[in-house]
Amino acid sequence: MILITDGGSTKCDWIAINSDGQLATNKIRTKGLNPAILEERKLRKILKKSDELQELKREVTHVFFYGAGCGTEKPKQTLTEVLQDVFVNANVEVQEDTMAAVRSSLNHNEEAAVVCIMGTGSNCSYFDGKKLHQRVKSLGYSIMDDASGNYYGKQLLRDYYFNKMPDTIRLAFEHKYNLDADYIKFNLYKQANPNAYLASFAEFMFLNKDSEYIHELIKQGLRVFTESMILQFKEELKTVPVHFAGSIAFFAQEEIHEVAKEYGYTVGNFVRRPIDGLVDYHINNL
């Protein structure tokens, strides 16, 4: 049995597949397992709390984990060791979430493309058909992650507190969320996963997309992301499409097409949940 995981900072989706390529269980969901943010003790606790994973742990022969925070060696190694301790009979492979986006969005295994992630966090890579290339190392949500859920959550909170929201949007924002300053600061500075907390505000944008303010807010984030991330592959963009993975990208398709037209690159596929494409990839490569 193989276990495929799409791991974000907010949540992880786990799919178990038998040797004949059939789904062994329903999708399992746990809290996010970002090893760049969470301590080893917390990673182990999250895995231990999943009864479904505990039931499967001795049957699993391979674990393919694709996750946020796995792009640098130390957190990647920490998570590998934690998973190996849980799934004692399995070979464990941990890769960054960018590879999940690549494998789930390509039209075929050897297609060359620029692939972007826009979920809780964001990233951008070039896949040449065989290897993944990144020219900017991500420094995480507090400095980078343009056009991600946590980026837009931060922008919404800033605009609210700096009185830049139109009145109707401001009232709707107040109605939906607890915007007490002490409550916000508690979640940002005293709780785990502040990036996921910020990203929780992004839903508001897609519930209010008929607002010109929201439409422009989304596009401005995409412009920043384009200039800082996508255009690092300016030469490659002349011949390859740009694919997008993640819920922010999926719900911002209209704005992505508009910004792509401004900058002259070709939009390819959109994948809301990379786990679905990963299942197809690994079944085809059993």
pLDDT of 110-132, one tens digit each?
899 999 999 988 999 999 999 99
Domain-located, residue 247: no
Domain-located, residue 73: yes
Q: pLDDT tier at 37 (50, 70, 90 boundaries)? A: confident
What is the average per-residue pLDDT within 71-85? 93
pLDDT of 142-195, one tens digit each?
899 999 999 999 999 999 999 999 999 999 999 999 999 999 999 999 998 899
pLDDT (0 to 100) of residue 87: 96
pLDDT of 253-271, one tens digit each?
999 999 999 999 999 999 9
| Beta strands 62-67; 2-7: pairing state | parallel
DSSP E strand stretches across 168-222: none
Which DSSP category does 23 fall into?
B
Domain-located, residue 146: no
For the sheet with 62-67, list strands across it: 28-31, 11-17, 2-7, 62-67, 91-96
pLDDT at position 286 over 80: no
Domain-located, residue 207: no
Closest by CA to 118, choosing from 286, 267, 280, is 267
pLDDT of 128-143, one tens digit each?
999 999 888 888 888 9
Q: For the chain, how many structural domains are there in total?
A: 1
Average pLDDT, the chain: 93
Q: pLDDT tier at 224 (50, 70, 90 boundaries)? A: very high
The Cα–Cα gap between 101 and 124 comes to: 10
Domain-located, residue 43: yes
Owner of token pair 């917390």: 42
CATH of residue 52's domain is: 3.30.420.40
User: 16-20, 145-149, 237-241, 251-255: which has the minimum mean pLDDT?
Assistant: 16-20
List the domain range (segments joined by +) for residue 11. Answer: 2-101+275-284
pLDDT at position 70 over 70: yes
